Structure 1
């Protein structure tokens, strides 16, 4: 197992529950520029964002919802995104990272390969949507939407989520993440109304770097949290100053 001597700019979160608790506490006292919560919709980006969103929803007293998203990963290197797709309320949005796609084409990747990834991820998107969502999802038109994830890398999946909420007529779109690279926050600030990040890292290479425990979130955990039967964290410590981007 490799070891990096590079110092962390912040103490890591214990797990997604801890991260969501701290983010939720910060959102309870966001300052005068933050919209009120009366019409707020809290959505967790499935799957990893759902435990974070559950804690946020509890903290501000709003119900929890889910948005299914899928990263479009490079064939052979799925951790590298060339785009993302998101679905909510029967609508779907797709974001392509055109610069990455051009670089991939230059390295010999064909459009057929990338389109194959797109089809596969849309199939998984449909599977998860059918599993997690039963009936009509909460309308977002004219409302404040908090989009919660466990962190950002390229920001592609979050960008697809923001685009989808814009197209659905959301009044205010707020990105809420515990940790992210500063450049990803800055890029999303051009799409969302607010980007709230507790730990904007100068160089976050993987979201897992911000956590002590970062296991996979399974379908069963997502379903339990959406049903209100999953584990929710207790308040734990001062989250520190809120980072507005």
Structure 2
């Protein structure tokens, strides 16, 4: 299956989620930036709230797009089993973690002015536009679990089966529309897969109050 764009994928996810969560006023948390427009669609469809969970992937040496791990907002690091095979030693991981933590702090201030969502006791749905290694999703779920959500759900349009099996250990439920064994990259499953920029994220997370011009 190929999605037209993120909006199409989000609406299909919403159709799967509404029967179980449409009356729970869930907190829908996006992993920026691509998933933020999707989170808004899901939150509106479910009658919930939209915000972000900030994690950053740690890219492999010479292959920055390959996630060998991820770091969350508290500085906790998740490292994939294969990280060492890419040449990532302790010094490399420490430097990457420091750099990405700085970016997380910049994003928190820019996106929400420092505001953080309160997840305690709520149904929390973490959404991304797809999973590859699953490192960022695992970091996000691991960061949220100690905050005691009532239920922690991972929702994605597409992911490889082995990644889903790993991620499922960190969530109460995983909702995924497609799990193709022949998986190369998330973008291959979208006809239109543009970058989402910071200005769009800020506008989605900080809508004008009702009645404002």
Q: Which residues of structure 1 form unaligned runs of 5+?
A: 1-9, 230-245
Counterpart in 2 of 1:63?
A: 49
Q: Select the structure that is richer in helix.
A: 2
In structure 2, what is the Cα distance between the partners aligned to 1:36 and 1:60?
5
Please give the alpha-carbon distance, in whole angstroms, between the structure 2 residues aligned to 1:122 and 1:200: 31
Give the whole-Å Cα distance in 2 for the aligned partners of 1:38 and 1:64. Answer: 14
* Structure-2-length-normalised TM-score: 0.91
Cα offset, 1:36, TM superposition: 6.1
Q: Is 1:43 matched up with 2:29?
A: yes
- Residues 81-107 of structure 1: CA deviation (Å, up to 9, x unaligned): 1110122xxx4532111x2233234xx
Alpha-carbon contact 1:93-1:161 (below 8 Å) kept: no
Instruction: Please give the secondary structure, in 1, of the residue aligned with 2:192.
Output: coil
In 2, Cα distance between equivalents of 1:39 and 1:26: 15
- Higher gyration radius (CA): 1
Q: State the distance in 2 between where 1:137 and 1:112 align.
A: 31
SS at 1:202 equivalent? coil
RMSD across aligned positions (CA): 1.7
How many residue pairs were aligned?
Answer: 208
Match of 1:200 in 2: 179
Tell me the distance in 1 between the aligned counterparts of 2:52 and 2:59. Answer: 22
- The question of whether the paired residues in 1 share the 8 Å contact of 2:35 and 2:129 is answered with yes
Match of 1:118 among 94, 97, 102: 97
Compute the TM-score of the two structures, normalised by the length of structure 1: 0.79
Moved segments of 4+, more than 3 Å? 34-37
Partner of 1:237: none
Q: Which 5+ residue runs of structure 2 have no aligned equivalent?
A: 209-213
